[in-house]
Amino acid sequence: MARDNSRSPPPSGKRAERNRQAIVAAAREVFVRDGFDTGMEVIAAAAGVSKVTVYNHFGSKQELFTAVIGQAMDEAHAALAEVRAHLADTEDAHEALTRTARALVAAATNPSRLALRNLVTAELRRFPELGRAWQQRGPGRSATALGEVLGDLCDRGQLAIADIEVAVIQFFGLTVYPHLIVNSFGASLPQDLADHLITDSVDMFLRRYQPQPAPQPPR
C-alpha cells in the first residue's frame, strides 16, 4: 500500500485540499454503499472531479481506502480527546470511566464506522494491508488513548493498576467488544441493555482496580 515513489507529489493548495476532502468523503459513502470493488470512476463522479484527479491524490484504491479509514478514526479519536480533557477536572473515577466507556462505545457503534469495519473484515484475505491500517489507525490508537486515561487516574491515586496493557484489554472486553460481536451477526444491543452493560462494567472494573486502604499496623 506504499505510495509509488515514481509518482509526482500530490497536488497542493486550497483547491487541491478541497478536492482531496471531497474525494475522501465521496469514497467513504461509495465504499459503504457499494463495497470495495466499486470503480474509481464512480468515486470520481460522486466527488465531482475527474478520475485523473483522484489518481493524482491517491495512487491506488487501497491508498484511498486507507485515507477513508484515517478520516473515520480521526473523528472517533477527536471525541475521545474531548472526554479526556473533561476528566482533568473530575475527582470521581466512576464518572471518568463511565464517560470514557460511553465515548468508546459511541465511536465503535457509529453506523458508518461499523460498515467500514465490516468491509475491512470482508477484504482481509485479499488486502491484509487494509486490516493493518485499520488496526493502527483505529483500535491501536484507541488502546493508547484509553491507556493514557487509566494512567492519569493511577497518577491521581484513583486507580491502582500494575499492568495498564492488560487493563486496557479488560476494559474493552467489558464495554466495547460485546457490541462488535453482536454486530458481526447483523444485530445490535438494545439501548437499555447497552446502558446497563456500561454501568455494570465500570463497577466491575473499579472493584478490580480501586486502591485498597493500607493495612493498619497491629496494636
Q: The domain containing residue 3 runs over which residues?
A: 1-59
Residues 88 and 170 in one domain: yes
d(CA 190, CA 180): 13
Query: Please, are residues 181 and 80 in contact by the beta-carbon 8 Å criterion?
Result: no
Residues 33 and 73 in one domain: no
d(CA 125, CA 120): 10
Confidence of residue 2 (pLDDT cuts 50, 70, 90): very low
Per-residue pLDDT, 186: 86
Total domains present in the chain: 2
Single out the residue in 42, 59, 76 at which a domain terminates.
Answer: 59
Q: What CATH number is given to the structural domain containing 90?
A: 1.10.357.10
* Predicted confidence (pLDDT) at residue 89 exceeds the cutoff of 80: no
DSSP H helical segments within 88-138, as ranges? Answer: 93-109, 111-122, 128-137
Higher pLDDT among residues 201 and 125, named by residue: 201
Higher pLDDT among residues 208 and 140, named by residue: 208
**Mean pLDDT estimate for the chain:** 88
Confidence of residue 41 (pLDDT cuts 50, 70, 90): very high
